[in-house]
């Protein structure tokens, strides 16, 4: 999988991002996501990073190329971990600022919870949230920090009978590799979890506390005892900072 990082066209990054046959399915501040079919009947996602017009062009291109490669490396690292589900990387094209990734069919965790809260039993929801907690614990265990753990960056793919679900974590555009053991890493892990907690609270107001408690239980069970204690203790500190900022505006 990692050999894909050596691949890529030499076409300049200034070439227009859109191409015939590409359908834009998502637009963010940093990138546009296209869905297309490249390998027979297999759909793929093309992530096209966007230039920043306010930056010096040479600097902007250098930063975007570095981030494309860093995201591919983060995905490769996560993909190698047991029980962690991420899109496979098919091609890295730093010159066009593109990643070609496996297309993951499903609903975002945000939308899945919204649609399932009134019709699903708590057992299925708990199983999905347990997967989330264990995956975050697994990537944190190797010092990989996602950087944007919102409920929009988890995709829930259901089986045909809808009795089982597999959760994928996506969008490693802000991911960073930290030393496995350091105070800075503990802080980054706690912030990752805090972002997820706030994302749950912003949409699933009544159930947010219960949902996040399930995530944390799975996170603890997937972490070493000492690491879990350090991170959860720091999470309380991060929460306090967040409340203070909210109070003073």
Active site residues: 148
Q: Which of 173, 121, 132 is nearest to 155 (CA)?
A: 132
Place of tokens 């076409």: 11
Query: How far is the CA of 103 from the CAs of 41, 112, 213, in angstroms?
Result: 12, 18, 30
Token readout for 214 is: 């399930």
Q: What is the dihedral of CA 34, 39, 40, 43, to 10 degrees?
A: -30
Question: Please, what's the b/e burial string for 140-171 (b: 16 or more CB within 10 A of its CB; e: otherwise)?
Answer: beebbbbbbbbbbbbbbebeeeeeebebbbbb
In this structure, what token pair is assigned to residue 66?
Answer: 């570095």
Q: Which of 151, 154, 37 is nearest to 100 (CA)?
A: 37
């Amino acid at each position: 999988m990692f050999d894909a990082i050596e691949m890529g066209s030499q076409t300049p990054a200034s070439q227009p991002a859109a191409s015939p046959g590409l359908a834009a399915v998502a637009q963010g501040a940093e990138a546009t996501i296209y869905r297309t079919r490249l390998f027979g009947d297999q759909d793929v996602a093309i992530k096209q990073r966007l230039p920043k017009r306010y930056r010096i062009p040479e600097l902007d291109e250098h930063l975007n190329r570095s981030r494309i490669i860093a995201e591919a490396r983060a995905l490769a690292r996560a993909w190698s971990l047991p029980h962690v589900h991420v899109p496979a990387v098919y091609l890295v094209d730093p010159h066009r600022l593109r990643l070609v990734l496996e297309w993951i069919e499903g609903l975002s965790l945000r939308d899945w919870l919204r649609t399932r809260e009134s019709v699903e039993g708590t057992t299925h929801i708990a199983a999905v949230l347990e997967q989330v907690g264990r995956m975050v614990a697994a990537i944190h265990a190797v010092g990989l920090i996602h950087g944007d753990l919102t409920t929009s960056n988890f995709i829930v793919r259901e089986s045909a009978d809808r009795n089982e679900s597999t959760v994928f974590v996506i969008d490693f555009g802000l991911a960073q590799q930290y030393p496995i053991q350091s105070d800075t890493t503990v802080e980054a892990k706690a912030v990752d979890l805090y972002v997820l907690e706030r994302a749950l609270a912003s949409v699933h107001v009544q159930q947010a506390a219960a949902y996040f408690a399930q995530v944390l239980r799975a996170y603890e069970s997937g972490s070493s005892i000492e690491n879990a204690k350090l991170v959860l203790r720091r999470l309380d500190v991060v929460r306090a900072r967040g409340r203070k900022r909210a109070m003073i505006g």
